Amino acid sequence: MYDIPSLLFADRQGNIYDHPSLKMAVRSENYNFVPYETELIELPETSRLYFMPNTHPIAYNQDTANMETFTGGTAVSAFLAPGFLRLFLPAYKKLNTEILPLYAYTAVGWMNGKFVVPAIKIDDDSKWNPNLYDYTDAFKPKVQAYLSKYPENRLYRQLAKCALEYHCTAAKNVFMGRWECPIPTAPSCNSRCLGCISKQPAECCPSPQSRINFVPSPKEIIEVALNHYETAEEPIISFGQGCEGDPITEAETIAKAVSVIKKKAPNMTINFNSNCSSPEKLKLLLDAGVDSIRVSMNSANHTTYEMYYSPVDYDFGDVLKSIELANKYKAYVSLNLLTIPGVNDREGELNTLLDFLGAYNIDLIQLRNLNIDPDFLFSKMKFKTEEILGLKNMLKLIKRKNKNVRFGYFNRTKENFFKDFGYPDLKRR
């Protein structure tokens, strides 16, 4: 029999141990099982480990060939570095009904002296490695220099908060003069997502950051964007961030700014991350010069989509109309596919996604690990019993039927829209 990683567990102080005999188990939806070696990689650098409060891990006992709950410690999870897609959840049993914080929970074990996780690399992370960013107080003078130079610009103050308090790497880019520059604009949203990361509180639990509480003026947006264009290496500006609602609600303001930015910096890549719930408002943005859109969705199945997003004054049909419009404009279209094992890789979900990809021109599927308590999510989504194919098999089937679709994790500049970085590696090992 192949090697199975050892179970990891934590004590009350958060110290992590490997068990001498019990083995790692993983989870997809509500099924617990042993992972194959080919599904495991060494824990990526800059990933984090943390214990899951009020839980016991579920482990595989080789002597009895059964799953069992280990009551001598707390379950441990990994939070993967950017650019990696988890394949399975941790296997655990809750001790109460408390909803877990908004993290992307990933199974983790110990094998051959290393932490291992069921995951796959899906994008080039050379610009997003946390080691390239300063998380110390030494970064404050760079931020303060911008605030002193542009004291009236509220958007710079918001980005300073994101860079220093939330340690947002994109916000740090603004003050380092490089790569992607986020431009939050929207204090409101027309979705009521189960696991909103900016609403206080989210439906399930407190979110990790507060939303922007104002709408920047076109002048403030233009100033930030053009400054970034003039100073940054490989500049790209993106509307739609974790510290705001949905920018589609402020489309008129954004369109005014974009039209000026494009006149003064025609080569600037302008990306719009959104639920794209209004084709009429999206048309304003495309006419103004937006180069690419990233459509946020957890599923191509309208029932699954609406169970998670809880749309307000729109439905999934409006999202499809927006994608159709973007295709007519020949804009670059990405999906921000919020992914979790046991949902996206269900046979019915995958078949619907394949039909969707056959009907619309999607250039890039950004596979993002959905941050949510798995038990909370599955209690809300009442799925019928059907085959779960596994996320790796899902990617293979998508690629087999849609050879021009690329997978990734990050937004791209126009120069890299159609570049193949070689990820993920789906060859059999």
d(CA 303, CA 309): 10
Q: What is the pLDDT of residue 397?
A: 97
Q: What is the pLDDT of residue 195?
A: 87
Residue with tokens 């110390």: 136
Tell me whether the omega of the peptide bond preceding residue 130 falls within 30 degrees of 0, making it cis.
no
Residues whose CB is less than 8 angstroms from the CB of residue 248 and which lie 6 or more positions away in sequence, other chains included: 186, 190, 274, 275, 276, 277, 278, 281, 282
Contact 109, 115 (CB under 8 A): yes
Q: What is the pLDDT of residue 210?
A: 78
Contact 175, 150 (CB under 8 A): no
> Amino acid identity of 91?
A
In the numeric block, which tokens belong to residue 160? 């300073």
Contact 343, 29 (CB under 8 A): yes
Contact 335, 406 (CB under 8 A): no
In the numeric block, which tokens belong to residue 166? 């939330």
Spell out the domains of the chain, with CATH numbers in brackets. 6-121 (no CATH), 127-416 (3.20.20.70)
Strands 26-28 and 31-33: antiparallel
pLDDT one digit per residue (tens) for the chain, 429 residues: 578 999 999 998 999 999 999 999 999 999 999 999 999 999 999 999 999 999 999 999 999 999 999 999 999 999 999 999 999 999 999 999 999 999 999 999 999 999 999 999 999 989 998 889 999 999 999 999 999 999 999 999 999 999 999 999 999 999 999 999 999 999 999 999 998 887 766 667 777 777 899 999 999 999 999 999 999 999 999 999 888 999 999 999 999 999 999 999 999 999 999 999 999 999 999 999 999 999 999 999 999 999 999 999 999 999 999 999 999 999 999 999 999 999 999 999 999 999 999 999 999 999 999 999 999 999 998 888 999 999 999 999 999 999 999 999 999 999 999 999 999 988 765
| Length of the chain as a residue count | 429
Contact 240, 251 (CB under 8 A): no
Tell me the pTM: 0.95
185 half-sphere exposure, CB direction, 13 A CA radius: 31
d(CA 401, CA 403): 6
Residue 18 burial class via C-beta count within 10 angstroms: exposed 0-12, middle 13-18, buried 19 and up? middle
